[in-house]
């Protein structure tokens, strides 16, 4: 068997992957597949059975396409090859699988090799098999061996799944050849993929937007549009193929996105039985331009650790005079009659809180988002998000605000929450204040120590 590997390596070296693609008549989107300059060395590494290959790349560079072509070639060239595509979601795995399906159904050379062609499984006469697995189904990965393992969007896959389930798949391949593990991803998060890329033990390919534009797969204008529409750190991950700096976003953006509901609608200001209503108000900073007010609804038994939060309504107002901000907030509070309103009292908010207190008394609470308090305020929101006890409106401007929050680790080991001064964060702040006053206004008597204990669990 090792003789076969030697022969393929020699063919790759002397004739190049182009010749192999031509000989096997590999088509892609109706034409003979033409690998780009950066896809070629990747395909050559796979066919030569490099054991560990990591592609850290710009979005839309052709990762999934290259992986699909590589999978089809491996199954065709090596007998009894188990090509397994692992992805976070079925949809993602299916992208690669469909490319492979396309290769076999369109190639006059490869099609006769197929003995079975299903929507999620291809079997070849040489004993090779190709199929997809999804990590969202925990059973699915067990008991499957792989000799070519393709992990797409690896940065999105949890570390424990990688360690306990995915890596095990390559322990005893059916054909006794050295298994090939291929990780492909944009570097939008640090996990085992980051470790692989930076370990020195993997053959790493890095594809940036420059390579992609040069190959004619992406237009320069597309890249410039993207650069303008996203924060710098995201652009660096999604287009420059650079890992985000060590300091992380405070909220897990993939969880946030999964909590978005298309059918979210602002509610009428009507109190439902068994529910409690709270508000948070963030007053525009000097130089900042929006004030925001968020109304939430929680069940009577709501605490930091239980009960779901509903965003009943949210409002923004472009900063005008402070008196206008006060009038605007006052109207909404009168309309919704929340039990308590959390207002940030640092800076301009202090004056607003004073005036509102004259109108609404003790229902207006001063929230000071500094020091330990600050971690507690945002930590509470993060916990509710992590535990999926909240749904979010399908409003990209709102959702994007969560990216503004980052964690900084200072040299003394303290964790701080910092905000990107160039991004908006008023709605998230107002939501965090509303939640904070909801937890701090328990129906039952809870001691400060209980609260402190429950907050300590999170860090």
CB nearer Mg ion, residue 62 or residue 338: 62
C-beta of 83: minimal distance to ligand ADP in Å? 17
- Taking CB under 5 A as the binding criterion, the range among 62-70, 143-151, 262-270, 321-329 that sits at the site for Mg ion is 62-70
Partner from Mg ion, ligand ADP, none binding residue 217, C-beta < 5-8 Å depending on class: ligand ADP
430 binds ligand ADP (CB under 6 A): no
d(CA 236, CA 396): 20
State the pairing for strand pair 415-419/405-409.
Answer: antiparallel
Total number of residues that touch ligand ADP (CB under 6 A)? 14
Q: How many residues in the chain? A: 459
Of the candidate spans 57-65, 235-243, 322-330, 405-413, the one that interacts with Mg ion by CB under 5 A turns out to be 57-65
64 touches Mg ion (CB under 5 A): yes
Nearer to ligand ADP, 59 or 454 (CB): 59
Q: Which two tokens stand for residue 19?
A: 């010749």
Would you tell me how many other CB atoms lie within 10 Å of the CB of residue 8?
19
Among the listed residues 17, 35, 77, 205, the single contact to ligand ADP using CB under 6 A: 35
Distance separating the N- and C-terminal Cα atoms of the chain: 52
Contact flag: residue 39 with ligand ADP (CB under 6 A): yes
338 makes contact, choosing from Mg ion, ligand ADP, none, with CB < 5 to 8 Å by partner type, with none
Binding range to Mg ion, per CB under 5 A, among 63-71, 73-81, 123-131, 159-167? 63-71
Among 12, 26, 36, 385, binds ligand ADP (CB under 6 A): 36
Measuring CA to CA, which residue among 319, 326, 324 is closest to residue 354? 326
Examine residue 175 and tell whether it contacts Mg ion (CB under 5 A). no
Binding mask 212-241 for ligand ADP (x = CB under 6 A): -----x------------------------
H-state helical runs in 239-321: 253-258
Is 17 a binding residue for ligand ADP by CB under 6 A? The answer is: no
Residues in CB range of 107: below 8 A, 6 or more apart: 24, 25, 26, 27
Reduce the DSSP state of residue 420 to 3 states and report it: coil
Among 61-69, 155-163, 421-429, 446-454, which window interacts with Mg ion (CB under 5 A)? Answer: 61-69
Q: Applying CB under 6 A, does 65 fall inside the site for ligand ADP?
A: yes
Closest by CA to 448, choosing from 339, 373, 369, 381, is 373
Tell how strand 290-299 and strand 310-318 pair up. antiparallel
107 binds, among Mg ion, ligand ADP, none (CB under 5 to 8 A by kind): none
Q: What is d(CA 123, CA 146) in angstroms, rounded to the nearest whole number?
A: 14
Is 59 a binding residue for ligand ADP by CB under 6 A? The answer is yes
The structure tokens listed for 452 are 């402190």
Q: Does 89 bind ligand ADP (CB under 6 A)?
A: no
List Cα–Cα distances, 442 to 89, 298, 390, in angstroms: 40, 11, 19
H or E segment at 20? helix 2-23
Decide: is 63 part of the binding site for ligand ADP (CB under 6 A): yes
**Residues contributing to the site for Mg ion (CB under 5 A):** 63-64
């Amino acid at each position: 068997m090792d003789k076969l590997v030697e022969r393929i390596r020699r063919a790759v070296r002397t004739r190049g992957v182009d010749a192999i693609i031509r000989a096997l008549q590999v088509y892609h989107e109706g034409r003979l597949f033409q690998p780009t300059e950066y896809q070629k060395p990747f395909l050559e590494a796979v066919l030569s059975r490099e054991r560990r290959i990591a592609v850290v790349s710009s979005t839309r560079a052709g990762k999934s396409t290259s992986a699909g072509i590589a999978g089809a070639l491996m199954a065709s060239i090596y007998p009894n090859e188990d090509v397994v595509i692992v992805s976070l979601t079925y949809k993602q795995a299916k992208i690669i699988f469909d490319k492979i399906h396309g290769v076999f159904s369109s190639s006059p050379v490869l099609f006769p090799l197929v003995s079975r062609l299903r929507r999620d499984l291809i079997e070849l006469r040489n004993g090779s098999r190709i199929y997809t697995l999804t990590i969202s189904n925990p059973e699915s990965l067990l008991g499957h061996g792989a000799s070519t393992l393709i992990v797409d969007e690896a940065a999105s896959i949890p570390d424990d799944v990688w360690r306990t389930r995915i890596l095990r798949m390559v322990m005893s391949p059916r054909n006794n050849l050295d298994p090939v593990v291929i990780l492909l991803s944009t570097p939008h998060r640090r996990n085992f993929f980051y470790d692989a890329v930076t370990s020195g033990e993997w053959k790493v390919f890095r594809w940036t937007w420059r390579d992609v534009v040069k190959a004619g797969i992406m237009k320069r204008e597309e890249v410039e549009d993207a650069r303008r529409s996203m924060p710098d750190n995201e652009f660096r991950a999604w287009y420059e193929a650079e890992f985000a700096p060590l300091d992380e976003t405070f909220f897990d953006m993939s969880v946030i996105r999964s909590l978005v509901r298309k059918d979210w609608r602002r509610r009428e200001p009507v109190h439902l039985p068994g529910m409690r209503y709270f508000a948070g108000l963030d007053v525009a900073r000097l130089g900042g331009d929006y004030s925001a007010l968020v109304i939430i609804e929680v069940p009577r038994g709501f605490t930091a650790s239980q009960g779901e939060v509903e965003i009943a309504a949210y409002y923004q107002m472009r900063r005008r005079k402070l008196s206008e901000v006060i009038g605007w907030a006052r109207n909404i509070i009168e309309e919704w009659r929340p039990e308590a309103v959390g207002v940030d009292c640092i800076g301009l908010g202090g004056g607003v809180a004073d005036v509102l207190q004259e109108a609404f008394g003790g229902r207006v609470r001063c929230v000071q988002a500094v020091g330990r308090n600050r971690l507690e305020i945002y930590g509470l929101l993060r916990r509710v998000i992590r535990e999926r006890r909240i749904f979010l409106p399908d409003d990209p401007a709102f959702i994007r605000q969560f990216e503004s929050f980052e964690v900084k680790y200072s040299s003394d080991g303290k964790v701080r929450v910092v905000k990107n001064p160039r991004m908006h964060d008023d709605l998230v702040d107002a939501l965090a204040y509303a939640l904070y006053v909801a937890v701090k206004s328990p129906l039952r008597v809870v001691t400060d120590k209980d609260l402190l204990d429950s907050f300590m669990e999170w860090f």
